[in-house]
Structure 1
Amino acid sequence: MINPLDTQAQFRAFYKHLSKEFQSLQFVVTNSTDTSERIRLWGSNSNLSITTSEQSINRFNDSVVIGVGNYPQGMVYNPANDLFYVVNQLSDDVTVFDSRARIITTVALSPIPVASGTYSPTAITVNTKEDSLYYGEIYVLSSVRDTISVMTLNFTISEELSVIKRPTSFVYNPIDDALYVAGITEPNMFVIDIPTRSVEQRSIEGIPSTMGLDPDTGNVFIHIPELEQVYVYDTIHTRLALIDQITRNITAWAYHPISKHIYGILESEASLLAIDTLNFTEIRIALSGIGASIAYSTSEELIYIGETTNFQVLRLNADHQFTDPYPIADFETGIAIHPESGVVAFSKATANSVTLGRVAKQEVTIKEDYNEYRQEFQFSPAWVKHLKIISSDQLITTLELEDVSVSGKSERRSISIGNYNSPQNFLNVAEVFEIEGVVIDGLHRWYFTIPSQTTITLLIYYTKLDWFDVLENEIEKR
């Protein structure tokens, strides 16, 4: 026999009865915006949205700023150890950090103290070929010293490779396990075979500025500013294509493996060069500001473009459509993205810092098959026995029920949720007994206001009704 003072036992018996006699559904409403939002549920006949404000914007969520070396530039993510690396141009070192913004170490490029600016590292890349003996090796390009510093996975500089004078751009090519290096002093490209460290000099048509890589084929895209052309070479240096009338320098490149396009940011111009890597045709994509850096997000399958003129990040999908940009004040130079978690790292040279965070869409969302139930109840209505509301923070204060008859007449009544706070769960749970008898179909609607940054779980116990019973009840009401 249940003790009448044993509240928990009473609830257990009550829910045992509910589970046995009634069907149940559970769905979650999340308000990730910074304002309270008015929610509208059910009533699928009218095809109304779940919110009355239609608010949907992006923000850079859970961002953390870390201090790094002097004047950070390029960044890279290393899949071999799940860490980020950023080169610091004016302190001649590399800061290593994880996706939780914890600095692992700072590695000086010189084994002995030297004057700042002796190396002047500006770019960094990583060996991504999993079956290479040197998988995870980091390569740092120093524009003043004319070298590439090689960093092992234990954060030591193992060697320096001499390269072309005044190197400005390089890429790691996983197809032939080699580094391709270009500079601003001669019409040549150095190709360094990683396993042997041997260097091959390959002539090109003019003085290059930057290079991009198609990692699926190993084809290299080289921009020659003087000729206003982009040349495409394969791994054996056969020229595959020439793209003409590229009048602006290309400051950075990124490849989209789904669209099979490589994208280059055009310097001082609010546009993006997109080259089809299959047939080598090109189009221009307008930006809203001047782009600075670019990267591909594996987790989202989007190209990220950081703009410095309006401090926002654009995101481009495989169909060349922009999806929901978001502002970030700490962006200036480099960008790297974690392939699984989607954590984005931005370097800000003038602040000697890196900002890490994720893109979070500020909107109201409903999970757990809500839309499927909404459509089902439109043609097969339900009679509600009980409602349980659980909040991550504040409970909703009022649930407003709109009863709509078959003739279209509407009546509203409110249930005060505060009257149903459950004492066993620290007042963030409401057992709403007054909901009993409410019908969910294509006409009737529920309204409530959900606080900002709050998640509400609704657990509904119900039984299905016959349409003829519903119509009969509505006729009696009239």
Structure 2
Amino acid sequence: MNRNLKKGLILTASVMAGMLCSLALKKDEEKQPVTKNQAGIPGKEDAYNTICTPEQRKRQYAKDLQKYGTRQGVIDISDCRNKKRLGQIELAGAQMLATFNDQRNLKKKAYNLRDDIRATQLTLTNITDRQQEVTLWGQGDNPGLEGVEATTPTGIHPQDIVFNAANNLAYVANQLSDSISILSARGKRIDTIVLGAAYPGMVSPVALAVNDNPATPDYGKVYVAGSVSDTISVITTDNVLDDSITLDAQRPVAIAFNRANNNLYVACLVSRKVLVIDGNTHQVIRSLESGEPPVGLGVNPDNGDVFVAYSESTRLGVYNKDHSRVATVEGIPEDTSHLVFDAAEGCIWAASGTSPNLVGIDATSYQIRSTKDVGSHILAMAYNPANEKLSLTDGTSLKTLQDDGSFSQESERLQAVNALAFDTTGALLTTAQDLGNATVSNKASVTIDADYAEKNRHFRYAPAVIEQVRFIMEAHQRIPLLTARNRTVSGKEEAFTFSLEKYRSTRHFQNIITMPMKGFSLNGHSSWQFHLQPGQTVTLLVSYRQLDSYALIPPLPG
């Protein structure tokens, strides 16, 4: 078909369709009644009047299109592009806002777990005859309440251990390391003194002694017997190697200090004599010849008598402080090497590492009082000044001699112990030569309620604010000061000291003290420190409010 003819037919059909639509509209218009606009005028155009004639609607549409209309696609109100990603600052701000809104919503649901004032009670007793420092609360260790047991490596083959009351430190002689390990009261090694640097074992320290006479300028000096170097090393209380005394004798194996004459006694095995050294000048002033190889020394500090034990012998030699031999004691265990003075009993205890027998010798009459069967070989023994009793060990257990002559089992958890000592508080000091370590163990010197640890743990996780603290004690007892310490999150520590005497109440016969510690907290970072006198008992009544807690889990719907 001709293209032009096709266009003509399409145009003719369009015109005819338009005419038909016009006729239909005209018939419909004739059927519609004439209406009035809002003003009541017939035929008046009103854009907001939906009831109008088609002609009026057409003209109004033409005006609106001319005034407001645009071509199709010029304005697109939809925005299908991806949303803009927030920057780091905007994102952090959004998160802070969300966190703030969450906390605000939680606080709306806040409730107080401990709205009333609550109280907890603690009772403490100092069971020793010495003043004890007590630390309550907090997370730090408190040996007074909890005791201590710490094992630390020392050197190779430790042979002896002593306690130095002048600086409250323990000294360990490491034979094959040629060194002295120094331990704190908490059992931590704080220093090591090397006695020889050439070859290990060339000094070979095997025995220790301490100047225990506070009246001398050398109080607290430690003396070390080198069994191979034939020397006596001197260590000051500042843990400095001060001097080395060369001996004109061979193989020193035992050493003891005599406070009655401030002399040092050294048993030299190979030379078969005991050397006497002046404690002030460090010069050898005397040699006690016996013809037998000495292996052990014991001193009675009350009168200055020195007891000497000999190898492969069943007797002791006794010398007075003027170095004269005054007695010989027969009937002791063969190869006795352990001699310990018992101040409470007034005797010298003698024991051998190859015999289970413990022999007690009167310190003044030099007669044997008793012989006791311990049940096992005695590898070491020492006098405990805290309970004034003798303790001994077979290497794996610790036994204590009681007033009735029996032995109580104190511990069965020792390992390879070959030397032991006690400090002034009764702490047990031991060395294990096969393990190369030393142990400091002490029982609690202050008793406290069994649930104290649980209460302390509770306050760590559920902090409280104190209202007041009440101290209840006997009228004659005193606790002069209390120091409250608080550590902030940044590590800064604040300390506040209270004078308890200031708050003593005469109404309660001066045995009740009420401390207004309002505002101080119990939260795991705060602690209290004060001192208890020997045998003193005190009861603390702590009044507090629990901090607010929030419902972190929202309630279930419905």
Shift of 1:392: 3.0
Pick from 373, 381, 391 the counterpart of residue 294 of structure 1. 381
Q: Does the Cα contact within 8 Å between 1:306 and 1:331 map onto a contact in 2?
A: no
Partner SS state of residue 155, structure 2: coil
Give the alignment of 1:380-395 within 5 angstroms: 391-392=451-452
Whether 1:274 aligns to 2:360 is yes
Query: Matches of 2:450 and 2:252 in 1, distance apart?
Result: 60
Whether 1:8 aligns to 2:68 is no
Pick from 210, 226, 248 the counterpart of residue 126 of structure 1. 210
Pick from 111, 127, 139 the counterpart of residue 223 of structure 2. 139
C-alpha change, 1:28 and 1:337, in structure 2 (3 Å) is closer
Structure number with the higher strand fraction is: 1
* Counterpart residue identity of residue 178, structure 1: N
Shift of 1:312: 0.3
Shift of 1:210: 1.2
Shift of 1:205: 4.8
Q: Does the Cα contact within 8 Å between 1:259 and 1:319 map onto a contact in 2?
A: no
Aligned equivalent of 2:399: 314
Query: Matches of 1:390 and 1:120 in 2, distance apart?
Result: 47
Cα displacement string for residues 342-384 of structure 1 (whole angstroms, at most 9, x for unaligned residues) = 22111111111111112579xxx999xxxxxxxxxxxxxxxxx
Aligned equivalent of 2:198: 114
Partner SS state of residue 379, structure 2: strand
Aligned equivalent of 1:401: none
Pick from 226, 233, 242 the counterpart of residue 158 of structure 1. 242
Shift of 1:216: 1.6
Whether 1:246 aligns to 2:332 is yes
Give the alignment of 1:61-460 within 5 angstroms: 62-110=148-196, 113-163=197-247, 164-199=249-284, 200-282=286-368, 283-308=370-395, 311-340=396-425, 342-359=426-443, 391-392=451-452
C-alpha change, 1:259 and 1:319, in structure 2 (3 Å) is farther
Name the stretch that deviates more: 268-277 or 328-337: 328-337
Q: Which has the higher contact order (CA 8 A, sep 6+)?
A: 1
Shift of 1:114: 0.9
Query: Matches of 1:351 and 1:78 in 2, distance apart?
Result: 24
Shift of 1:390: 9.2
Moved over 6 A (4+): 25-29, 423-426
Alignment length, in residue pairs?
Answer: 328
C-alpha change, 1:7 and 1:64, in structure 2 (3 Å) is same
C-alpha change, 1:274 and 1:109, in structure 2 (3 Å) is same
Normalising by the residue count of structure 1, what TM-score does the alignment of the two structures yield? Answer: 0.62
Q: Does the Cα contact within 8 Å between 1:186 and 1:206 map onto a contact in 2?
A: no
Partner SS state of residue 90, structure 1: helix
Query: Matches of 2:450 and 2:261 in 1, distance apart?
Result: 56
Unaligned regions of 5+ residues in structure 2, if any? Answer: 1-112, 126-145, 456-461, 466-538, 542-558
Shift of 1:302: 1.5
Unaligned regions of 5+ residues in structure 1, if any? Answer: 16-24, 30-59, 368-388, 396-422, 427-456, 460-478
Query: Matches of 1:293 and 1:260 in 2, distance apart?
Result: 20
Query: Matches of 2:123 and 2:288 in 1, distance apart?
Result: 61
Aligned equivalent of 2:43: none
Of structures 1 and 2, the larger Rg is shown by: 2
Q: Does the Cα contact within 8 Å between 1:8 and 1:424 map onto a contact in 2?
A: no
Query: Matches of 2:252 and 2:450 in 1, distance apart?
Result: 60
* Counterpart residue identity of residue 224, structure 1: Y
Query: Matches of 1:205 and 1:28 in 2, distance apart?
Result: 58
Q: Does the Cα contact within 8 Å between 2:310 and 2:336 map onto a contact in 1?
A: no
Partner SS state of residue 417, structure 2: coil
Partner SS state of residue 8, structure 1: coil
Normalising by the residue count of structure 2, what TM-score does the alignment of the two structures yield? Answer: 0.54
Aligned equivalent of 2:41: none
Q: Does the Cα contact within 8 Å between 1:330 and 1:355 map onto a contact in 2?
A: no
Query: Matches of 1:390 and 1:298 in 2, distance apart?
Result: 28
Shift of 1:27: 7.2
Aligned equivalent of 1:57: none
Query: Matches of 1:173 and 1:322 in 2, distance apart?
Result: 29
* Counterpart residue identity of residue 193, structure 2: V
Name the stretch that deviates more: 262-271 or 223-232: 223-232
Percent identity of equivalent pairs: 25
C-alpha change, 1:26 and 1:184, in structure 2 (3 Å) is closer
Shift of 1:160: 1.3
